[in-house]
Chain A
Amino acid sequence: MTAAQAGANQQVLAGASPAGPPGPGTSGGAARTSRLGSSNLAFRVLRQRETGIVVVGVILFVVFSILSNGTFDSLENWGGITSTAAELGIVTIGVALLMICGEFDLSVGANFSFAALVMATMVQDHYPAIAALVVALAIGAGIGLVNGLVTVLLDIPSFITTLGAFFVWTGVTLIVTGGETVTILPPTPGLLNVLGGVLAGQVRSELLWWLGLALVVGVVLQRTVMGNWFFAVGGKRLAAVEAGVPVMRTRVLAFVICGVFAAFAGAVQLGHLDSMSASFGTTYQLEAIAASVVGGCALMGGRGSMLGAAVGTLILAMLGSGLILSGVSPYWYEAVVGVILVAAVAMHTRVGRLVSGAGA
C-alpha cells in the first residue's frame, strides 16, 4: 500500500469511526490536506490557507474604507455588496464542493437562468410559489444529475460535459422563453420576499440564505463521513476506491448538489429582482470558479473549504464596489480580479510548500 493510499484510508477511517481520533473534524481536516505529517502540522496548513485569504480580505476592506472617505463601509453600500455576494456565493458553494471533488461545472449560469425562468413563469401563471420553487430545484438537480452521469459513466472530463450542458441549457432557455424577460409584477408572493426580500435597510434575506447554507455544507464537509468522501474522491481517487469510498456515487452526488445550489441561487435572485431572463446567469460560471480558487480550492480537487469559498466570494463582491468608491476607473475591475486570482493561488501554493516541504 502506498503512502498516499494509507493517507486516504486514514482519512476515510477517521471520519467513519465514531471512536476515531479525538475531534473528527480536526483529524478529518488533517487528512484532507493529503499530507502525511503529524495532524497538528497539517491542520496548521489548512488553517493558514484560509488565514491568508482572510487577511487579504481585511486589507482590501481597510484600503477601500480609507480611499473612499468612509462611503465604502456605509451600511447602504454593504446592502449592495452582500446582495451581490449572496447570489454569487450560493452558486459558489456548489461549485467549490464540486471542485473539491476534482470536477468543474461550467453550466451553473445556464442552470441558474433556466431554473429561475421556469419558476418565474410558473409564479406569473399563478401556480403556488412553493411549487414553482420545488420545480426549479428539481430542474437544478436534474441538470446536475445528467452532468454527473454523463461525466462518470461515459468518462468524459466534466469541463467538456458541462461546457456542452451550458450550450444546451442556454439554447433550451431561449427556445422556451423566446428570449423575453419574465417579470413578476406586484403583488409578489411572500415566498419571493423570503428568498430575496429586504430584511432591514438595504440588507436582504439573501445574505442569511448564503451564510446558512455555507455553514451547513461546511459542517458536512468537515464533520461527516460524506464530507470526507468528497475530499477523498478529489484528492486521491485511486486510494479512495481502495478505501471503499463509493467514488462514482459521490461524484454524481456532488454534481447534483452543485445543480441544486445553482437553481436555488437563481430562485433567490428572482426574489431580489422579481424578474429573470436567459442572460441573468451568464456571469456566474467563471466568477464562481474564480471565487472558489481565490478562497483556496485546488483546481485538481482534494482541497478547499466553505469558509475559503465564502471569503473568496466576498472579496470579488467588495472589489466591484470598492474600486468605484475609491475613484478608480471601473475598467480596472477585471484586471484587478485577474491579479488577485493568480496571486491568491500563488499564495496558497507557497504556503502549502512552506509548511509541507513539498509541492502543493
Chain B
Amino acid sequence: MRSYKVAGASVRARGRRWWGRKIAVSAVALVATSMASGGLVAGAAVSSASPSLTFYFVSHGCPTDPFWPPVWNGAADAGKRLGVRVDILHITSAQCGSTAAEVSLLQTAIAAHPAGIATTVTDATSFSPVLKTAAKDGIPVVVFNSAPTANGQPSSANPFLAYIGQQNYSAGQGLAQEAVKDFGLRSGAKVVVVDHEPTNISLNQRLQGVRAAFKAVGVTPTIVNTSDNISQGASIVGAYFTTHKNLGAVLTLGTTGTDEVVQAMSSSGTKQKIGAMDLDSSTLSYIERGTVAFTVDQQPYLQGYLSIVELFLDATEGAAPVPISTGPVFLTSQNVKALAKYVDHTGF
C-alpha cells in the first residue's frame, strides 16, 4: 500500500480494486482533500501539493510519425495544468514497429512505481505479463489509442482500468459509410484502401470495419500495402493509379497513407476521390484545398490529455477511470473552419 500526499491529507492508494470500485472511497477522498485545503476548491488544493505525483505515458508511436506529437502534447498539457509530472516515453526511430521495445519501456515505468501509467496495447498477448505486474503492484493503468481487443475491453489476461480512444472497428465502418454517401458508391464499385502499416493491429481493426461496411453495399475493396516510407509508398500507389482507371474511391487508414495517396495522385497525373483517416497538418490542408473530401478524426490530443486527467483523478480522488470514446469525428471542408482553434492549439 502506498499513499499520496494531497494537500496535507493522505489518500490511500490501492491494494487495488481492479474490478468494481467503491464510490464511497472517492467521496471520502474528496471530502478529506477539501477539508485539508481549508475549504478551497479541491482542484486548486490538489495542484499545489501534487508535483510529487509522477505519471508515465508510454506509446508505440514512432518519433518520426506526425500522428503522435498531438497525443504527446495532450499528455504534457494535462500534466502542466494539473501540476503533476508526466514522463513521456516512446521508442526510438530505429525501434519503430518493435513491440518488445515498448514492453521494455513499460517494464522500466513499472519499476519506477509511478502514480499511474498510460499506455497503448498493440496486440493481445505481448503486454499481458507487464499489465498483470502493474495490477499486482497496484499501479493504475489506462490504455489509450490502441487496445488489445476491438471493443477496448480489459480482461483477466490484459487487465487495465479504461480505454481512452477510438473504437477502430466502428471508425473503419464510418470511413466506408461516409465514402458510400459522399462518393455515391454502388455495388461493384472499384475501391482501393491504402494500408501503410500492414502490421498494426489498430489499422487491421479499421480495415475489418471498412470491409464489413462495404460488404453491406456489395463493394469489395482492394487493399494496397505500402509502408511508413512516404516516397516509397507514393510510388507503389502511383503505379497502381496508372494501371487502374475509374476508381470509385481511394481510402486511407492514417495520415502517412494519405500523404502517399496525394503524392501518388500528382505524380501519376490522375484525379481521385479520397477519404482519409486521422488528422495532421498536411491532411488538414488537403481538406481545406478540397484534395481530400473528408477525414475520420480520432482526436489524438484528447487521447493524451484525458488519459492523464483520468489517472490524476484516480490517484488524487480515487475516481474510477471510465472508457472514453474520442472519435470518430468527421472533418470535411465545411466544418474544418469551426475547428480551427482546437486544431491550432493541439499542435499538429
Contacts and interface: CB of A to CB of B under 8 A. Distances in A.
B104 A185 contact: no
Nearest to A327: B87
Contacts of B36: none
A324 B109 contact: yes
Contacts of A76: 107, 110-111, 133, 137
A275 B87 CA distance: 28
A278 B97 CA distance: 9
Contact of A202 (B90, B101, B133): B133
B141 to A, nearest CB: 15
Interface residues of A, number: 47
Contacts, number: 127
A77 B297 CA distance: 37
A286 B199 contact: no
Interface stretch (A42-50, A173-181, A251-259): A173-181
B125 interface: yes
A185 B125 contact: yes
Interface stretch (A19-27, A32-40, A78-86, A346-354): A78-86
Given A286-B94, A334-B93, A325 B100 contact: no
B155 to A, nearest CB: 11
Interface in A178-203: 178-181, 183-186, 198, 202
A92 B199 CA distance: 25
Contacts of B87: 324, 327
B51 interface: no
Contact of B97 (A186, A275, A282, A334): A282
A61 interface: no
Interface in B238-252: none
B157 A273 contact: no
A282 B96 CA distance: 7
Interface string B73-108: 000000000000001111011111111110111011
Interface in B184-213: 195, 197-199, 201, 204
Given A275-B126, A282-B96, A287-B94, A324 B103 contact: no
Given A282-B98, A333-B92, A334-B94, A273 B108 contact: no
Across the A-B interface, give the 3 residue pairs with the lowest CB-CB distance, nearest first: A179-B198, A279-B97, A80-B107
Interface of B: 63, 87-90, 92-101, 103-105, 107-113, 122-126, 128-129, 133, 137, 157, 195, 197-199, 201, 204, 225
